[in-house]
Chain A
Amino acid sequence: MNLRKWSRLVVWSMLLASVTSAPLPAVNLCVFYPSASRPQVIQKKLVDQCPGVDITVFGRFKDFETMLAQTPPEAILANTFLVKSYPEFSIKLDGSRGGKSDEPYVLLSIDQGMDPGAIGDKNIAVVDILGRKGMDSFVQQLLPAVPKLKRVTKIEDLLPSLTFNMAQGMLIPQSLVPYFKETSQLKLVMTVLPNAKTGIVALGIRNNAELGNLVTALKKLDTETKQMLGVDEWK
C-alpha cells in the first residue's frame, strides 16, 4: 500500500473512531412530585440510578414551570394531570400503585368529616402542583363545589393550615392520609369523595425525544425511590 492510501486509511479510521466513541448527549429530565422527602434527596437517588441522565428535582411548582419555559427538557416526571397540561409532552410511562394508575382524592379535616356538596364557602388547603389557575381547574374535577383554595408549597405545610384554622380541610391523595395520621395527634377525619380520582405520576417525553436508557433505568428504580415518587411500578 503506498503512502497516500495509507494516510487516507488512517484518517478515515480516526474519523470513524471519533464518531463511534463520542458520548451521547445527556438526556435532561425535570422532576416535580411533592413528597415528604426533600427534593435534593430524591434527586440524589435518581441520579445514582439513572446514569447518562441529567436530572433536576424541583420542590416548587413555579421553579418547575420556569425551567420548562426557559430550557425545556427532553422528559418530565410529574403528577399525571400536570404532565397532560403540557401538550408538547406525551406520556411514555404511567406510574401505578397496587396495580392502579389512578388514585382517589379525599378531604381530611379535624374532629369531623366534611360535606363535599357544602364546601363552597370553606377554605380548603391544597399543595400547589399547577399554579393558581391550574389548581382551580384541577379541583373542579374532584369536587362538586369549588371551595376557596389555600395553596401551600409543601405537603407538610397542609397540617399547620388546619392546626391554625386557616383552612377547614385539606384535599389530598388518599395515600397521604397515613402520613398525616402518623405525624399529628389531632383527630383527623377522612371524607371519601365520590369519583374523585386522577393519575399518580407519569413520565412525559417531548416531541418523541431520544431518551437513551432513561425508561429502562426508571423501571429498575429501587423500592425506596419508587415509594418517594408514590408508585410501586411503571406501565
Chain B
Amino acid sequence: MEVGMRMPHGSRLPLKWWVLVFVCLATSQVFAQERLLIVRNAGKSFEEVIKGMVDEFGSEFVVEDLVIQKETKSADIASRVDALKPRLIVLMDNAAIRLYRGLIEPLGDSVQPIPSVSLMCIQVGRELRGLRNAAGIAYEIPIATSAVSLRSILDTPLRKVGVIHRPFMAEFVKENAGYCKREKIELVAFEVSEGVRHEKAIREGLKKLVKEDKVDALWIPNDNILLKPAIIQSVWLPLVRSSKLPVIVGVEVLVSPQLNFGTFAVLPDHVALGAQAAEMIFDVKSNEWTIDAKGIDPPLSIYKIINPLHAKQFKIPEGHLRTVDKVAK
C-alpha cells in the first residue's frame, strides 16, 4: 500500500515529499525572523534581564546568546556575527563592549556597524564614546529616583541629600544634581581627591555634610574603594550611626539588620530593565535599524529593600512599607 496524499489532479504524491515541503516552509519562517545577538557575562542578573527582553519580543525576533568566558576574543564575536547576521547586538557588561569595540574599530569609519544596545555596564556613556550606531541604558540608579522614593517612604521633607564620591563620579553627580533640583532636593557633594587617605577624607566629608551642611539623608554610591570592608567598619559605620540620618545604598547586604548600616537599598529591577531594553530595540527597528543620536537612558524601574531596624527607628508608617519590595532579614 502506498502512503501519500492525493493531488488535485488525482495522482498521489508520496508522504515523504509532503514532509520535505513542510520542513522547508517551517525553516524558511525561522530564517525570515530577524535575529538578535546578545553578548554577555554569565550570572543570574544577566539571565533576568534577558527574560525581560525575550518576554517582550515574543516571536518577533530569534535571540542568540553568547556568554563571555575569560578566553573569549573579539574574533569569537566576529565569527558569531558572520554566522547569524543579526540585525542588532545587545552588549551586557563592560567586557562585552570592549570585545565589540575590538571588532568594530579596525573596520574604520567607512563601515556602518551593526546597531548595538548596551546594558548593565558601569558608566555606559563613557564606554560608548566614539562607538557609532550605539545606544544604551545606564546601570546606575539616578539619585533623584532613589531620593524621591525615600522621601515618599519616610513621609518627611528631604531637602538635602549628601554624597561622598571619588572624581570619576563627578559627572554623574553633577547631572543628577540637576534632576534632584527639579524635585526640590539639593544634592550636596563632597569629592574625595585622588591621593588622599580615604578614611581621613570620608571622616572629613561626613563631618562637613552632617554638621555644616545639615543634610537630611546620605547617599552612598557603589564604590568598591570607598566601601572596602575595613573602611565600612572603622569609618562609615560609627559615623553614620552617630549621625542618625537615613542612608541610601546600592547593595542589599548594606541594609541587612546584622550590619545595620543602610536604611534603604535601591537596586535595578533586572526583568523590568530587560523590558526597557526591548522597547529601545523596537524603536531601533522602527527606525530601520539605525540609531541616529546616541541616547543613554536611565533605568526606570527599581527594586527597593528596607532595613527593618531603620524602619522602626525612623517610624516609617506601615502603609508606606507596602511599596517596598523586600524587608531585609
Chain A residues proximal to chain B, CB less than 8 Å? 36-38, 41, 60, 62, 66, 128, 132, 150-154, 156-157, 159-161, 163-164, 166, 182-186, 228
Contacts and interface: CB of A to CB of B under 8 A. Distances in A.
B322 A36 contact: yes
A38 B142 CA distance: 21
B234 to A, nearest CB: 36
B142 A160 contact: yes
Q: Which 7 A-B pairs rank lowest in CB-CB distance, beginning with the nearest?
A: A37-B322, A185-B184, A62-B55, A153-B272, A157-B300, A41-B322, A157-B301
Contacts of B272: 60, 152-154, 157
Given A37-B322, A37-B323, A163-B182, A183 B148 contact: yes
Contact of A186 (B55, B182, B271): B182
B301 A164 contact: no
6 contacts: A38-B324, A151-B279, A152-B276, A157-B272, A160-B298, A182-B152
Contacts of B65: none
A66 B54 CA distance: 13
B145 interface: yes
Interface in B219-262: none
Interface of B: 55-56, 142, 144-145, 148-149, 152, 179, 182-185, 269, 271-272, 275-276, 279, 282, 297-298, 300-301, 322-325
Contacts of B271: 60, 153
A109 to B, nearest CB: 14
A183 B151 CA distance: 8
B323 A36 contact: yes
A195 B142 CA distance: 37
Given A153-B271, A154-B301, A157-B301, 8 more contacts: A38-B322, A150-B279, A151-B279, A152-B301, A153-B269, A164-B297, A184-B148, A185-B182
Given A160-B145, A164-B179, A185-B184, A62 B323 contact: no
Contacts of A152: 272, 276, 300-301
A228 B183 CA distance: 26
Contacts of A185: 182-185
Contacts of A150: 279
Contacts of A163: 142, 144-145, 179, 182-183
Given A132-B56, A161-B300, A156 B182 contact: no
Given A153-B275, A153-B301, A164 B183 contact: no
A38 B184 contact: no
A36 B324 CA distance: 9
Contacts of B323: 36-38, 156
A197 B266 CA distance: 35
B179 A186 contact: no
Given A154-B272, A160-B142, A184 B301 contact: no
Nearest to B158: A185
Contacts of B145: 160, 163
A61 to B, nearest CB: 9
Contacts of A62: 55-56, 275
A36 B149 CA distance: 12
Nearest to B57: A132
Given A38-B322, A154-B272, A184-B148, A164 B282 contact: no
B276 to A, nearest CB: 8
A230 B215 CA distance: 37
Nearest to A110: B182
Contacts of A166: 297, 300
Contacts of A38: 322-325
A35 B324 CA distance: 12
Contacts of B152: 182-183
Contacts of B276: 152
Contacts of B322: 36-38, 41, 228
A23 to B, nearest CB: 32
B297 A159 contact: no
B63 to A, nearest CB: 15
A164 B148 contact: no
Given A150-B279, A161-B300, A186 B325 contact: no
